[in-house]
Structure formats: structure tokens, C-alpha cells
């Protein structure tokens, strides 16, 4: 019996024909990269209207494909020809041992293509075949279409029928690589890896930028950040995360010595934006991703977020802006970065005792007038190093 993995997608189906074709091809390439990365054997990946099929006898292929951005769900299915009789026989074989005495069952059937029968016909005939098999085994059949103990799914297409018993939820979103590139300001905390992942889920290729605050941070902070990026790389094999590490400690020294102490964090964030913008232009990217969430820390009050951007013309994306911390933590646990992000570090020693929480929008322009901000940004970018964590 031939086995395949059925891969279903969502938003792709709403695109125009040309765009949909491009998205599907990108999704197939990403699925192939994920299977190879996880050493899951497969012989071929093919496309039909509304579905992608992976030819593999390994159920791990269904689990791996479900973790690819753009995939809504997957199922490990057995294949037969597109006739009610063949589908019914296959349903009966799958039900043998699956449904036991006292358990109810339901057949969930859907049909695509031109056939002389309807989806209802498929469900009834396949149900009859399962019923007869159970009776032959001395099991009293019971059908419950509302809340059955066991479900058998039949997907009848033009030339083949697919029968399966389980659907694995996928990560959803859009295929990675279909929405261009963006810079992501990444630290080892809980928020920025989650914001990065959420934009990857929307099809954006990310270029992480880590501003290293040494000597105000210790090596533990550096390692935690690199490990978070490694965890993110697991979600995007075939798309290496080109990571910039930018020396930022000297900038903090200037802020502390030359500017109002309570505005150090705001100056830090504005300079990070300027650094990220410079790298964005260098990489041909189209935006900058942050982990900001309103009110979560002093620099993320609405007043300060306005002041941080005042006078700058930078395309910023804040995917976490309206989320509670608990919601962010839930995603972090799901994507595998939470346990890394909660590792203890020494914290940033440059944070002032009483940070500004209600900065006037133009105050940062005045503060930057006390230093040569353009020179600081230029030197930081020139001294940045590039690596590929996780590869």
C-alpha cells in the first residue's frame, strides 16, 4: 500500500494564479529543506490544486512538514484508486484494530474532481464497509457523527483516494522567503526571538542583529542570544540566519558620560535603530523588527517609543506590540526559545537607576546633539562581525 503525506495550506489558496504558483513552489522547497534537515526519508514532493503530497513511508515526514511556515495541517495517509469500493476496503482495513468494542466511529469524507458519486455517498459506503468489518469481528458497531471515539477521513480526488486517521496541526502563516528580507534586533530575552519568529511565520527572511553591550553585559548574555538564534534556525533550514554582531559598549560609554543619565536606554534604542537601518540598506532589506510591547519596560511606554523614533525615518515592525507577557511566553515555549531566554545573566549594568518613562518627543534630538551620533553608528557598523549560528 502506497503511503503519502498530505500537506494543506491556507492563505496561499487566496492568491492570484501566478502568485499562488510562486508561493507553492517556495513552500515545496522549504518542506524539502526541512525533511532533509531532520533526516526524514522521502522520494518525491508533488503539487496538485490545493494540496502538496510528500511520498514517504515515515510518519515523521508529517510532523516535520507541519513545522514549515505556510503549512496549515498534514496527514499521514494511505492511497488507493478513486472508487468508493477501494476507499471502503481501505477504511475497513484501517479500522481493524483501531475501533474496539464500545467505541463509536465516524467517516469524514470530502471529494474534489468529477465523479458520479457525492461526498455523502463516499461517507455512507465507507461507513458500511467499516460496519461490516466490525460485525465480522464480533464487535457491535456504533456510529456517532457528533462526538465519535474514532474518526476515519477519506479525501477523494480525481484519480486517487487518500484515507487517514489523524491530522497534525501546522504552524500556518506564509512560506518563508515570499515577503522579502528584514533586519531583526535580537537579544537573548524572551521577546525578541518571539517577534523574529512571528515575522518569519509571515514569510519574512530575517537578518538578526545583536548589539553587544560588553562590558556592560557578560559573556552569558552573548551566549544566550546566539543560542536563541540557533533555536530560530531550526525553523528555517535552507534559509541561513546571517547574523550581525555589533559592538555597542563604546556607544553606551558616550551616552553615560555625555548625556542625561536617565535617558541612556532611550539613546541606546535610537542608536540600535540607526545601526539596524544602516545594515538594512546594506542588505537590501525593507524593515526592522523589534520585540517591543507597550508598557512592558521603561523604554516601551508610548511616550518613550515616540521619542525613540522622533526625527528618524525608519520602517519599524513591532509584532508583539499589543500582546501580554503571558501570551509572549506561550509562543516562546512553543518555538523552543523560552528555556534559553530565562537563563540567568548579569543584566545590563548601563541601565540607569531611574530611567526616563515619559520623554518629550524632541528631547532625544537635543541629547544626540551632545555627541557625534553619526560617527558612533558608522564605527559600530564598520566593526560588526558576521556569523551563521546553528550552521
The percent of residues in the chain predicted with pLDDT above 70, rounded, is 100
Full set of structural domains in the chain with CATH? 3-169 (3.30.2130.30), 181-387 (3.40.50.620)
- The pLDDT, as a whole number, for residue 50 is 87
Q: With cut-offs at 50, 70 and 90, classify the pLDDT of residue 332.
A: very high
Q: How far apart are CA 287 and CA 289, in angstroms?
A: 7
> pTM for this structure?
0.94
Question: How do residues 61-102 score in pLDDT, each as one tens digit?
Answer: 999 999 999 999 999 999 999 999 999 999 999 999 999 999
Asked whether the CA dihedral 350, 196, 62, 33 is positive or negative, the reply is: negative
The mean-pLDDT minimum among 246-255, 358-367, 374-383 falls in 358-367
- The pLDDT, as a whole number, for residue 1 is 62
Question: How do residues 87-141 score in pLDDT, each as one tens digit?
Answer: 999 999 999 999 999 999 999 999 998 999 999 999 999 999 999 999 999 999 9
Mean pLDDT score across all residues of the chain? 95
**Residue 284 predicted with pLDDT over 90:** yes
Question: How do residues 163-198 score in pLDDT, each as one tens digit?
Answer: 999 999 999 999 999 999 999 999 999 999 999 999
Q: What is the mean pLDDT of residues 197-215?
A: 97
Amino acid at each position: 500500500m502506497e503511503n503519502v503525506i498530505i500537506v494543506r495550506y491556507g492563505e496561499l489558496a487566496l492568491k492570484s494564479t501566478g502568485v499562488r504558483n510562486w508561493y507553492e513552489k517556495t513552500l515545496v522547497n522549504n518542506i524539502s529543506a526541512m525533511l532533509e534537515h531532520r533526516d526524514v526519508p522521502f522520494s518525491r514532493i508533488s503539487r496538485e490544486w490545493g494540496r502538496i503530497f510528500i511520498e514517504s513511508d515515515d510518519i515523521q515526514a508529517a510532523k516535520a512538514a507541519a513545522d514549515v511556515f505556510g503549512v496549515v495541517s498534514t496527514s499521514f495517509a494511505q492511497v488507493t484508486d478513486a472508487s468508493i469500493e477501494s476507499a471502503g476496503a481501505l477504511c475497513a482495513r484501517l479500522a481493524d484494530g483501531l475501533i474496539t468494542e464500545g467505541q463509536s466511529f465516524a467517516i469524514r469524507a470530502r471529494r474534489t474532481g468529477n465523479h458520479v458519486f457525492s461526498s455523502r455517498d463516499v461517507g455512507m459506503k465507507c461507513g458500511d464497509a467499516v460496519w461490516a468489518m466490525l460485525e465480522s469481528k464480533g464487535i457491535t458497531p456504533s456510529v456517532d457523527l457528533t462526538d465519535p471515539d474514532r474518526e476515519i477521513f477519506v479525501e477523494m480526488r480525481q484519480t486517487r483516494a487518500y484515507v487517514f486517521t489523524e491530522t497534525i496541526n501546522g504552524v500556518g502563516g506564509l512560506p518563508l522567503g515570499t515577503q522579502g528580507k528584514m533586519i531583526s534586533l535580537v537579544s537573548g530575552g524572551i521577546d525578541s526571538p518571539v517577534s523574529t519568529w512571528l515575522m518569519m511565520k509571515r514569510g519574512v527572511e530575517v537578518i538578526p542583529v545583536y548589539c553587544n553591550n560588553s562590558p556592560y553585559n557578560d559573556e552569558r548574555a552573548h551566549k544566550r542570544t546566539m543560542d536563541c538564534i540557533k533555536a530560530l534556525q531550526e525553523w528555517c533550514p535552507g534559509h541561513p540566519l546571517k547574523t550581525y554582531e555589533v559592538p555597542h559598549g563604546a556607544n553606551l560609554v558616550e551616552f553615560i558620560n555625555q548625556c542625561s543619565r536617565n535617558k541612556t536606554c532611550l539613546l541606546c534604542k535610537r542608536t540600535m535603530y540607526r545601526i539596524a537601518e544602516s545594515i538594512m540598506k546594506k542588505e537590501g532589506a525593507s524593515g526592522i523588527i523589534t520585540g517591543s510591547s507597550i508598557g512592558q519596560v521603561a523604554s516601551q511606554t508610548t511616550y518613550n517609543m515616540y521619542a525613540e523614533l522622533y526625527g528618524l525615518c525608519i520602517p519599524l515592525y513591532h509584532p508583539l506590540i499589543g500582546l501580554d507577557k503571558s501570551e509572549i511566553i506561550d509562543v516562546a515555549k512553543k518555538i523552543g526559545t523560552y528555556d534559553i531566554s530565562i537563563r540567568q545573566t548579569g543584566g545590563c549594568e548601563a541601565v540607569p537607576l531611574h530611567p526616563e518613562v515619559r520623554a518629550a518627543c524632541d528631547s532625544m534630538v537635543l541629547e544626540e546633539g551632545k555627541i557625534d551620533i553619526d560617527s558612533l553608528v558608522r564605527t559600530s557598523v564598520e566593526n560588526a562581525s558576521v556569523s551563521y549560528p546553528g550552521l
